[in-house]
Structure 1
Amino acid sequence: MKFKLGKFLIGESLKTEELKGQKLNVFWGLPILSSDAISSVAYAGEEILWVLIPVIGMMAYKYMFLASLCIVFLMFVVTLSYRQTIDAYPGGGGSYVVAKDNLGKIPGLVAGASLTIGYILTVAVSASAGTAAITSAIPEILHYKVLITILLILVMTIGNLRGLRESSKTFGTPTYIFMILILAMIVWGIFKVKVLGYTPMPVYKVPQITGDITLFLFLRAFSSGCTALTGIEAVSNAIPNFEEPSQKNAKMVLGLLSLVVFLIFGGLSYLATLYHAVPNSQVTVVAQIASQVFGNNILFYVVQGATAIILILASNTAFAGLPMLLAYIAKDGFAPRQFAKRGKRLGYSNGIVTLSIISIILVIIFKSDTHYLMPLYAVGVFISFTLSQLGMFIRWRRKKQHAWRRKSIINGIGAFITFVTAVILGITKFISGAWIVFIVIPILVYFMLIIKKHYSEVARQLKLSINEMPKEINFKDQKRYVIVPIDTLNKSFLKALNYARTISDNIIIFHVSVDDMTTEKLLKKWNEYNNEYNMDIPIIVKKSPYRSIVGPLVKFIESEEYSAGPKDTVTVVLPQFVVTKWWGNILHNQTALLIKTILLKRRNIAIVTVPYIIFEK
Structure 2
Amino acid sequence: MDSREPAVVTFSPSAELPPLSEQELAVLSQVGQDWSAGLPDWRRAEALPLDPALNQYPTPAPGRFSRIAPVGQFRTETPDRLVADQPEAPVSPEGGTLTRLRRVILGPPLNSAAVVQERIRKLIALPVLSSDLLSSVAYGPEAMLTVLVLAGASALRLTLPISLALVVLMVAVGLSYRQTIRAYPHGAGSYIVAGANLGSRLGLTAGAGLMMDYILTAAVSVASGVDAINSALPRLAPAAVPIGLAVLVMLLAGNLRGVRSAGKLFAAPTYAFVAAVFLLICFGLAQAARRGFTTLPPPRVPATEGLGVLLVLRAFASGATSMTGIEAVSNAVPVFKPVEWRNARTTLTWMVSLLILMFAGLIALIHLDGVAIKPNQTVLSQLAHLAFGEGPLYIFVQATTALILLLAANTAYQDFPRLLFFMARDGYAPRAFLRLGDRLVFSNGIILLTVAAAAILIAFHGRTQALIPLFAVGVFLAFTLSQVGMIRHWLREKGPHWRKNIVINGTGALLSGVVLVTAAFTKFVEGAWVVLAAVPIVILTALRIRRHYDAVQAALSPEPGEQGGEPRQEDGERPGQVLHMAVVPVARLDRAALRALAYAVSLGQPVFAVHVSPDDEEDDRFRHQWTYWGAHLRLEIIVSPHRAIIPTLSHYLQALHALRPDITLTVVLPEVVVKQWWHRPLHHHDARRLRRAVRPLPGIVVTSVPVHVRG
TM-score, structure 1 normalization: 0.91
Any idea what the Cα deviations from partners look like across 1:71-105, whole Å, max 9, x if unmatched?
Answer: 11101000111111101111113111111111111
CA contact (8 A) 1:489 1:526 kept: no
CA contact (8 A) 1:49 1:60 kept: no
Q: State how far apart, in whole Å, the 2-side matches of 1:531 and 1:18 are.
A: 63
Partner of 2:183: 88
Q: State how far apart, in whole Å, the 2-side matches of 1:112 and 1:101 are.
A: 12
- Which residue, out of 535, 554, 561, partners 1:441? 535
CA distance 1:137–1:536, shift in 2 (3 Å): farther
CA contact (8 A) 1:75 1:258 kept: yes
Stretch deviating more after TM superposition (484-493 or 44-53): 484-493
**Displacement of 1:9 after TM fit?**
1.2
| 1:383 has 2:483 as partner | no
Aligned residues: percent identity?
37
CA distance 1:471–1:38, shift in 2 (3 Å): closer
SS in 1 for 2:377: coil
Letter in 2 for 1:428: T
| 1:35 has 2:131 as partner | yes
Letter in 2 for 1:78: V
CA distance 1:270–1:541, shift in 2 (3 Å): farther
| 1:167 has 2:267 as partner | no
SS in 2 for 1:304: helix
- Which residue, out of 251, 262, 269, partners 2:356? 262
Q: State how far apart, in whole Å, the 1-side matches of 2:167 and 2:675 are.
A: 58
**Displacement of 1:497 after TM fit?**
3.9
Partner of 1:124: 219
CA distance 1:152–1:486, shift in 2 (3 Å): farther
- Which residue, out of 161, 178, 192, partners 1:66? 161
SS in 2 for 1:542: strand
Any idea what the Cα deviations from partners look like across 1:93-122, whole Å, max 9, x if unmatched?
Answer: 311111111111100110111101100110
| 1:252 has 2:346 as partner | yes
Any idea what the Cα deviations from partners look like across 1:184-241, whole Å, max 9, x if unmatched?
Answer: 1111111012136799999x95425597521111111111111101100111111111
The answer for unaligned runs of 5 or more in structure 1 is none
Letter in 2 for 1:238: A
Partner of 1:499: 599
**Displacement of 1:426 after TM fit?**
0.9
- Which residue, out of 212, 220, 224, partners 2:314? 220
Q: In the TM superposition, what are the counterparts of 1:37-186 in structure 2 within 5 Å?
A: 37-57=133-153, 59-186=154-281
**Displacement of 1:564 after TM fit?**
7.1
Partner of 1:484: 584
CA distance 1:270–1:492, shift in 2 (3 Å): farther
CA contact (8 A) 1:480 1:504 kept: no
**Displacement of 1:268 after TM fit?**
1.4
SS in 2 for 1:536: coil
RMSD: 3.0
CA distance 1:110–1:572, shift in 2 (3 Å): same
Letter in 1 for 2:602: T
CA contact (8 A) 2:152 2:300 kept: no
Q: State how far apart, in whole Å, the 1-side matches of 2:304 and 2:659 are.
A: 90
CA distance 1:360–1:549, shift in 2 (3 Å): farther
| 1:468 has 2:567 as partner | yes
CA distance 1:77–1:556, shift in 2 (3 Å): same
Any idea what the Cα deviations from partners look like across 1:507-543, whole Å, max 9, x if unmatched?
Answer: 3443445x55xx9569747854x56654634554434
Q: State how far apart, in whole Å, the 1-side matches of 2:633 and 2:249 are.
A: 55
Any idea what the Cα deviations from partners look like across 1:275-325, whole Å, max 9, x if unmatched?
Answer: 333323422111111112111112111211111110011101000001111
Q: State how far apart, in whole Å, the 2-side matches of 1:564 and 1:610 are.
A: 27
| 1:325 has 2:419 as partner | yes
Partner of 2:372: 278
Letter in 2 for 1:69: L
Q: State how far apart, in whole Å, the 2-side matches of 1:581 and 1:309 are.
A: 45
CA contact (8 A) 1:482 1:504 kept: no
Stretch deviating more after TM superposition (3-12 or 596-605): 596-605
Stretch deviating more after TM superposition (493-502 or 138-147): 493-502
Q: State how far apart, in whole Å, the 2-side matches of 1:446 and 1:54 are.
A: 39
CA distance 1:608–1:25, shift in 2 (3 Å): same
- Which residue, out of 381, 385, 399, partners 1:291? 385
Q: In the TM superposition, what are the counterparts of 1:348-427 in structure 2 within 5 Å?
A: 348-427=442-521
SS in 2 for 1:22: coil
CA contact (8 A) 1:488 1:522 kept: no
**Displacement of 1:554 after TM fit?**
3.2
**Displacement of 1:340 after TM fit?**
1.1
- Which residue, out of 255, 264, 288, partners 1:193? 288
**Displacement of 1:136 after TM fit?**
3.1
CA contact (8 A) 1:481 1:504 kept: no
SS in 2 for 1:52: helix
Q: State how far apart, in whole Å, the 1-side matches of 2:333 and 2:232 are.
A: 38
Partner of 2:110: 14
**Displacement of 1:590 after TM fit?**
6.0
CA contact (8 A) 1:122 1:315 kept: yes
**Displacement of 1:61 after TM fit?**
3.3
CA distance 1:590–1:107, shift in 2 (3 Å): farther
CA contact (8 A) 2:170 2:352 kept: yes
TM-score, structure 2 normalization: 0.79
Partner of 1:556: 652
Q: Count the aligned residue pairs.
A: 609
Any idea what the Cα deviations from partners look like across 1:159-184, whole Å, max 9, x if unmatched?
Answer: 00000010001011110001001111
**Displacement of 1:130 after TM fit?**
1.5
Q: State how far apart, in whole Å, the 2-side matches of 1:361 and 1:338 are.
A: 21
CA distance 1:355–1:491, shift in 2 (3 Å): farther
CA distance 1:504–1:448, shift in 2 (3 Å): same
Letter in 2 for 1:483: V
CA distance 1:594–1:366, shift in 2 (3 Å): farther
Letter in 1 for 2:423: I
**Displacement of 1:65 after TM fit?**
2.6
Partner of 2:101: 5
SS in 2 for 1:609: strand
CA distance 1:579–1:237, shift in 2 (3 Å): farther
CA distance 1:584–1:43, shift in 2 (3 Å): farther
Q: State how far apart, in whole Å, the 2-side matches of 1:509 and 1:129 are.
A: 66
**Displacement of 1:577 after TM fit?**
5.6
CA distance 1:244–1:547, shift in 2 (3 Å): farther
SS in 2 for 1:232: coil
SS in 2 for 1:176: helix
CA contact (8 A) 2:269 2:403 kept: yes
**Displacement of 1:33 after TM fit?**
0.7
Q: State how far apart, in whole Å, the 1-side matches of 2:638 and 2:412 are.
A: 56
**Displacement of 1:575 after TM fit?**
4.2
CA contact (8 A) 1:576 1:589 kept: no
Letter in 2 for 1:405: R
Q: State how far apart, in whole Å, the 2-side matches of 1:97 and 1:200 are.
A: 47
CA distance 1:237–1:506, shift in 2 (3 Å): same
The answer for unaligned runs of 5 or more in structure 2 is 1-88, 90-95, 561-565
Any idea what the Cα deviations from partners look like across 1:334-367, whole Å, max 9, x if unmatched?
Answer: 1111111111111111111111111111111111
SS in 1 for 2:152: helix
Q: State how far apart, in whole Å, the 1-side matches of 2:494 and 2:697 are.
A: 55
CA contact (8 A) 2:186 2:341 kept: no
CA contact (8 A) 1:126 1:311 kept: yes
CA distance 1:414–1:503, shift in 2 (3 Å): same
